[in-house]
Amino acid sequence: MYKTKLFSLALLLSFLSLSALAQQLGSIKGLITTSNGKPAAYITVGLKGKGIGSTTDEKGNFTLHRIKPGTYTIVASAVGIKPSEQNVTINAGENKTINFSLVETDQVLEDVTIAGKNNRYKISLPSASLRLNEPLLEAPQNIQTVSDQVIKDQQIISMSDGLIRNVSGAVRVEHWGDMYTNITMRGSQIQAMRNGFNVVSSFWGPLTEDMSFVDHVEFVKGPAGFMLGNGDPSGMYNVVTKKPTGFNRGEVSLTVGSYDLYRTTVDFDHKLTADGKLLFRLNAAVQNKGSFRPYEQNDRYSFAPVISYQITNKTKLTAEYTLQNAKMTEVGSYYIFSPIGYAAYPRELTMTQPGIPATRINDHSLFLNLQHNFSDTWKLTAQAAYFKYLQNGYSSWPSAVNENSTVIRNVAIWDAESSMKLAQLFINGQAKTFGINHRILAGFDGGKKNYMADWGQVHDLDLPTSPFDLNNPNYGFPTNGYPSFDRETSLQQRAINAGGLMSSKYLSGYVQDELGFFENKVRLTLAGRYTYVSQAAWGGEPDKAKKVTPRVGLSVSIDKNTAVYAVYDEAFTPQSGLIRGGGKVEPITGTNNEIGIKKDWFDGKWNTTLSAYRILKQNELTADPTNTPGQNFNVVLGEKRSQGIEFDLRGKITDGLTLIANYAYTDSKVTEVTPGVTGINVGDVIPGFAKHVSNAWLTYTLQKGALKGSGISAGFTYLADRATDTWSIGLQKLPNYFKLDGGLFYERPKFKITGNAFNILNKYLFTGSYYEWLKAYYYQAEAPRNYRVTVAYKF
């Protein structure tokens, strides 16, 4: 009650005319093109003599924020081209559009584009799907973006292919190969989003996204549930897919690499009508990929057409379909089980059995997005999504691990199907009352998710009298033969028999007002959210919960390039599971507190973010440490505390030199244990994270001479004091982890050649844990030194 009164009082005081003399600021946005209509990327745009500037993106767009009323000269310039100027008058609160058409030749501007890509590591604005109508510098939240240029330079081909090195504190302690991404940050697994929708349909999904249709990925740290629906208060990642740009262009690439990697992608972007109202974009990829382990494959193709139609000057409709098809080795083939410790056998060793049919996955998604601009300051967004996931496959895990390094290999069926129907409606707007600026966000989101799976049929490949020998593996016909599973019975009935039914329904409404004082230098965010959720797992009865949670944030601009922020959020995350002996499953509750400082350096060329946080969570379910094979019981942990600091740096340090660097310290421990719970104690480290995580990626591009456009890059990942993924800590700790990568590239206006080497030091890298019921360690090795070469051509 006290918190509610305090929140209401803060909301009332915010509307008082404390800054009645404050002026409402305006903005300038626009498009810069060449004389023949092509976008002019990486052009510097600024107000002459005022120190306010920005850079156009690859589509030629720019935005200048927080401009006082007055008359200015706006200048578009770049090294090697003649500046272009226009005079502009801004009234109080006005948002003006100014477009430029440069007279320089395409060749000159393409050279500028090559140089400008050095600064594509830093993105200053969030995607529309994050619903934030402000620059990232002003948001009271730690948000880090992995840009499309980073993805290309590092030759990242899927969400689980090293992308997280570009964000502080993100790790994958437990891997599911390239099937699911499962990222841990701030002591918990974070939620997976796509275009603003929560796309987690079960404990494992979604299928990791192929990078061919991904534009960029946003990592929202800390209390993120308010922005995009239900999710863990540790944060989320939002995959933003490619959309039509309004320009006729395309790109095709070919990648070859170690272990039979052959991959082709196509990006085709085109205007279907001369007036540019009907636009189309198609991204597609085909991949054959082997492994350093024998008998392992990861073959895929994806197909992602997008069409948009400008219905009126104020209304736009976008429709997007994505198909991902995967043919891969059964889940679990990546692991080795050892009675004597981690990394006890050659990293090329596999326990999989040739002849087991590949797991096949078809992942369909459809997005519809309608945007209507009531004015320059008010916009309505309505969007819906439908997902259909179909899996026909297997998983492998041992039935027994013997002290003499022999195992009984076991294969289980894993057929699964899921569907998700999701909808969102929200409005963004700006207003002014009593001299106070308002950035308003209000809306609702709802959804229905169903998942069913048959994992109840199992078969031992080996007999106790002739087990599989890890020291002398025999991949001939298995001594107990191959499995013959029932697929005649409907999947729904098989899922009921196996306890493989999961479902959730949710509905939430929210309102947020960011109040700007003193020419918007001080920004107070007040928000509230109502959430109702009904969830069921493992075929059990649904658990229902509802609650109103407040959110308060404060962001203060010390100067035009520096902002400090603080945010408070109450955690409310409904959950489902089975408790041994019965018992009601309560939602996760708790508090989130975070403070930080953000700064743009040298006219916004590079940015740093430093944050500190503390998250308390009560009632969280975790796997029962006493589970035996086939059991999915949970225990209520009690309370856990995650706290730490994070630092991120990204952008252009000097001409030709770009850097991404980050560090995170994470301390996540049990602070209270629910009475009756055994195997977990106060002070125990929470599984699934590394206490120290640091990464860097440095790129240098030659700016002159015959080799102009050539460059070199190098990066590393270092994890120290790694926690395992289960409560059974076992007899060994995971060793520290260090991986060094690097490469060379050469770029001209129409093509680019990129070559990278990964794990240059050829270290035996792995992650794993200990299973008490097997009395065995299990681990998954990473590839030894390997290579990739990509040739990309633009048309």
> Is pLDDT of 106 > 80?
no
Give a yes or no: residue 192 inside a domain: yes
Together in a domain, 191 and 274: no
Average predicted confidence (pLDDT) for the chain: 87
> Is pLDDT of 760 > 70?
yes
Q: Per the structure block, which two tokens stand in for 165?
A: 């090195």
Q: Per the structure block, which two tokens stand in for 52?
A: 């306010």
Rounded CA separation 602/567 (Å): 27
Q: What confidence score (pLDDT) does residue 586 get?
A: 75
- The mean pLDDT of 374-398, rounded to a whole number, is 94
- The mean pLDDT of 232-245, rounded to a whole number, is 88
Pick the most confident of 52-56, 514-518, 543-547, 600-604: 514-518
Strands (E), 748-785: 751-758, 766-771, 776-781
**Domain's final residue, options 61, 83, 118:** 118
Rounded CA separation 705/702 (Å): 8
Rounded CA separation 242/210 (Å): 12
Give a yes or no: residue 123 inside a domain: no
Q: What percent of the chain has pLDDT over 90?
A: 55
> Is pLDDT of 378 > 60?
yes
Together in a domain, 262 and 295: yes
Q: Per the structure block, which two tokens stand in for 168?
A: 């502080």
Rounded CA separation 130/793 (Å): 32
N residues, the chain: 795
- Burial status of residue 777 (CB atoms within 10 A of its CB: 0-12, 13-18, 19 or more): buried
> Is pLDDT of 718 > 70?
yes
Q: What confidence score (pLDDT) does residue 120 get?
A: 73
Together in a domain, 734 and 612: yes
Q: What confidence score (pLDDT) does residue 4 get?
A: 46
Residues facing residue 228 across a β-bridge: none
Rounded CA separation 208/315 (Å): 32
Query: What's the CATH code of the domain at 11?
Result: 2.60.40.1120
Together in a domain, 209 and 94: no
Q: Per the structure block, which two tokens stand in for 510?
A: 């929210």
Contact, 370 vs 316, CB < 8 A? yes
CA-to-CA separations, 585 to 545, 621, 634, 671, in angstroms, rounded: 10, 8, 10, 20
Together in a domain, 503 and 371: yes
Give a yes or no: residue 77 inside a domain: yes
Looking at per-residue pLDDT, the higher value among 203 and 143 belongs to: 143
Give a yes or no: residue 327 inside a domain: yes
Together in a domain, 505 and 383: yes
Give a yes or no: residue 557 inside a domain: yes
> Is pLDDT of 678 > 80?
no
What does the pLDDT look like over 260-285, one tens digit per residue?
999 999 999 999 998 889 999 999 99
Pick the most confident of 38-47, 114-123, 327-336, 527-536: 327-336
Q: What confidence score (pLDDT) does residue 730 get?
A: 56
Together in a domain, 108 and 134: no
User: Which are the contacts of 743, defined by CB distance < 8 A and separation ≥ 6?
Assistant: 155, 712, 713, 714, 754, 755, 756, 757
> Is pLDDT of 575 > 80?
no
Together in a domain, 260 and 201: no
User: Which are the contacts of 258, defined by CB distance < 8 A and separation ≥ 6?
Assistant: 292, 783, 786, 787, 788
- Burial status of residue 652 (CB atoms within 10 A of its CB: 0-12, 13-18, 19 or more): buried
517 pLDDT tier (thresholds 50, 70, 90): very high
DSSP 492: H
- The values of phi and psi at residue 6, to 5°, are -65, -40
* Complete DSSP assignment for 149-193: HHHHHTT--BTTSSGGGGSTT-B-SS-BTBTB---EETTEEPEEE
**Domain's final residue, options 225, 241, 257:** 241
Which residue range forms the structural domain that includes residue 497?
Answer: 249-411+420-794
From edge to edge, which strands make up the β-sheet containing 70-77?
Answer: 52-55, 44-47, 70-77, 84-90
**How far does CA 535 lie from the centroid of its chain?**
24
Give a yes or no: residue 351 inside a domain: yes
Contact, 582 vs 613, CB < 8 A? no
Give a yes or no: residue 255 inside a domain: yes
Q: What confidence score (pLDDT) does residue 729 get?
A: 58
Position 72, amino acid: Y
680 pLDDT tier (thresholds 50, 70, 90): confident
Together in a domain, 161 and 309: no
Cis peptide before 206 (omega within 30 of 0): yes
**How far does CA 171 lie from the centroid of its chain?**
12
Q: What confidence score (pLDDT) does residue 216 get?
A: 94
Q: What confidence score (pLDDT) does residue 630 get?
A: 64
CA-to-CA separations, 270 to 17, 275, 308, in angstroms, rounded: 50, 12, 11
Q: What confidence score (pLDDT) does residue 776 get?
A: 92
Looking at per-residue pLDDT, the higher value among 727 and 121 belongs to: 121
- Radius of gyration (Cα) for the chain, nearest Å? 27
Query: What's the CATH code of the domain at 176?
Result: 2.170.130.10
Furthest-apart CA atoms within the chain: distance in Å: 88
Looking at per-residue pLDDT, the higher value among 769 and 585 belongs to: 769
Q: What confidence score (pLDDT) does residue 684 get?
A: 84
Query: What's the CATH code of the domain at 450?
Result: 2.40.170.20
Q: What confidence score (pLDDT) does residue 308 get?
A: 95
User: What predicted TM-score, i.e. pTM, was given to this entire model?
Assistant: 0.85
Together in a domain, 328 and 379: yes
> Is pLDDT of 8 > 60?
no
Rounded CA separation 769/767 (Å): 7
- The mean pLDDT of 217-237, rounded to a whole number, is 75
Together in a domain, 197 and 295: no
> Is pLDDT of 36 > 70?
no
Q: Per the structure block, which two tokens stand in for 459?
A: 């078969």
Q: What confidence score (pLDDT) does residue 2 get?
A: 45
Give a yes or no: residue 770 inside a domain: yes
What does the pLDDT look like over 125-165, one tens digit per residue?
888 888 887 888 999 989 999 999 999 999 999 998 989 99
Q: What percent of the chain has pLDDT over 70?
A: 90
Contact, 171 vs 184, CB < 8 A? yes
Together in a domain, 425 and 463: yes
**Domain's final residue, options 195, 224, 241:** 241
Total of domains in the chain: 3
User: Which are the contacts of 606, defined by CB distance < 8 A and separation ≥ 6?
Assistant: 122, 600, 649, 650, 651, 652, 653, 659
Pick the most confident of 319-333, 523-537, 621-635, 716-730: 319-333
115 pLDDT tier (thresholds 50, 70, 90): very low
Low-confidence winner among 66-70, 229-233, 326-330 (lowest mean pLDDT): 229-233
Q: What confidence score (pLDDT) does residue 702 get?
A: 92
Q: What confidence score (pLDDT) does residue 81 get?
A: 58
228 pLDDT tier (thresholds 50, 70, 90): low
